[in-house]
Structure 1
Amino acid sequence: MRKELAAFALIACASPALADGYDGYRRHAAELDAYLQCVPYARHVSGIELYGDAHTWWDQAQGRYATGNTPRPGAVMAFRPHRNMQLGHVAAVSRVLDSRRVLLDHANWSPINGRRGQVEKDVLAIDVSPANDWTEVRVWYAPLDDVGRTVWPVHGFIYGDDRAEPRRQIAMAPARKQTSRRFLSAFAEYSD
């Protein structure tokens, strides 16, 4: 009983201090910025419904999606695991520039403003494979403000449904039938 009373007294005395400490943490708390991995981003923009780590996409795609070594807009470039990139990487082709250069949309490649998990759009990837078969590439790396020096091994490209355009999410507000007076009054001094 005596131990229980001592424990209760300790908790009761510490409670105001704990509450103050908690308040202090709340003042300094902030919501974390979004951190996006390559897989959900590639799935979203390409419409290719594969799941799991990027290094599993190539094998999962066999028999389910067409695959090959020719880049096409909307296709997903599937990177092999290499060095520190043990889980592989996937990136959507946004545009084909020529037989050895494409633009990619991808997430979690370059640290931007010191943070990973960022989305990069229309970044350059160059085929550096000796056979011009897209099995080795160099990719734009933001901290260098240039194409990176690392040669990354690539499985190839996973092609989605050719009938569907790559999915783009666009927020649309309902159109008003009439412009509001408040909106028009903001520009009244600029009218004739």
Structure 2
Amino acid sequence: MILVRFSLALAASLLALPGTAAAGPSLLDYVGQCVPFARSASGIQIYGDAWTWWDQADGRYRRGHRPRVGAVIVFKQSGQLRLGHVAVVSRVVERRVVMLTHANWSRRDGRRGHAERDVTLYDVSPANDWSQVKVWYRDSNGLGSSIYPVAGFIYGDAPPSAELSGEHPDDVGALIDAYVPGAIASR
């Protein structure tokens, strides 16, 4: 039992190190919290609860309010996100629609923690500044109805994981998710 726990802890710590995801199991096989996943996928070395990343990045990494591939988006604490959330931008579709790769959002087989690649993120902020977003949610097979507050994007210096985006992400599907509510049933 001790050996099993040690092996699991070692595997989790290796996944959390930059550059080790490619050497070990696929980044997309990850099951766990969003923070170690985002750290591994982006190369941004910040620790602690997701909502603290924005302030921790000040003076260490560039920050802003425009999505870029490889940037970490920081969701603020809210009633629904007690610890916030972090995810990595995998693709910019257009000025108000991007795709994320993240962990611990949707449920798979009734459980959270799994990695998801190229899911739709839609800027619904009145000022078009990415301060409020909707996120694709597996259980509803589309954008959820919740609106989440965002602190902004943290831009890393290292190249993000090669597994961040799929070979053929569904840009059109992401646009439909964002701009044609309820159209999922027809896809």
- Do the structures match in fold with TM over 0.5? yes
Cα deviation code 1:22-67 (max 9, x no counterpart): xxxxxxxxx9x97410000000000000001101100000010000
**1:79 correspondence with 2:75:** yes
* Residue type at the aligned position of 1:165: P
Q: Compute the displacement of 1:84 (Å).
A: 2.9
| CA distance in structure 2 between the aligned counterparts of 1:112 and 1:132, rounded to whole angstroms | 32
Identify the match of residue 33 of structure 2 among 32, 37, 54.
37
TM-score w.r.t. the length of structure 1 is 0.68
Aligned partners of 2:31 and 2:115 also within 8 Å: no
| CA distance in structure 2 between the aligned counterparts of 1:99 and 1:167, rounded to whole angstroms | 23
TM-score w.r.t. the length of structure 2 is 0.70
| CA distance in structure 1 between the aligned counterparts of 2:161 and 2:43, rounded to whole angstroms | 6
Aligned residues: 136
Report SS of the residue matched to 1:115: coil
**1:52 correspondence with 2:48:** yes
Q: For residues 48 and 131 of structure 1, do their structure 2 counterparts lie closer, same or farther at Cα, with a shift above 3 Å needed? A: same
| CA distance in structure 2 between the aligned counterparts of 1:141 and 1:100, rounded to whole angstroms | 18
| CA distance in structure 1 between the aligned counterparts of 2:37 and 2:82, rounded to whole angstroms | 18
User: Which aligned segments of 4 or more residues in structure 1 are displaced greater than 3 angstroms?
Assistant: none
Compare CA radii of gyration and give the structure with the larger one: 1
Identify the match of residue 113 of structure 2 among 117, 120, 142.
117
* Residue type at the aligned position of 2:112: R
Q: Report the equivalent of 2:159.
A: 165
| CA distance in structure 1 between the aligned counterparts of 2:38 and 2:122, rounded to whole angstroms | 19
Q: Compute the displacement of 1:82 (Å).
A: 1.1
Q: For residues 113 and 61 of structure 1, do their structure 2 counterparts lie closer, same or farther at Cα, with a shift above 3 Å needed? A: same
Report SS of the residue matched to 1:56: helix
| CA distance in structure 2 between the aligned counterparts of 1:84 and 1:166, rounded to whole angstroms | 28
Report SS of the residue matched to 1:138: strand
Q: Compute the displacement of 1:93 (Å).
A: 0.1
Q: Which runs of 5+ in 1 are unaligned?
A: 1-30, 170-192
Q: Report the equivalent of 2:166.
A: none
Q: Compute the displacement of 1:85 (Å).
A: 1.2
Q: For residues 93 and 34 of structure 1, do their structure 2 counterparts lie closer, same or farther at Cα, with a shift above 3 Å needed? A: closer
Identify the match of residue 129 of structure 1 among 90, 100, 125.
125
Identify the match of residue 145 of structure 1 among 141, 147, 150.
141
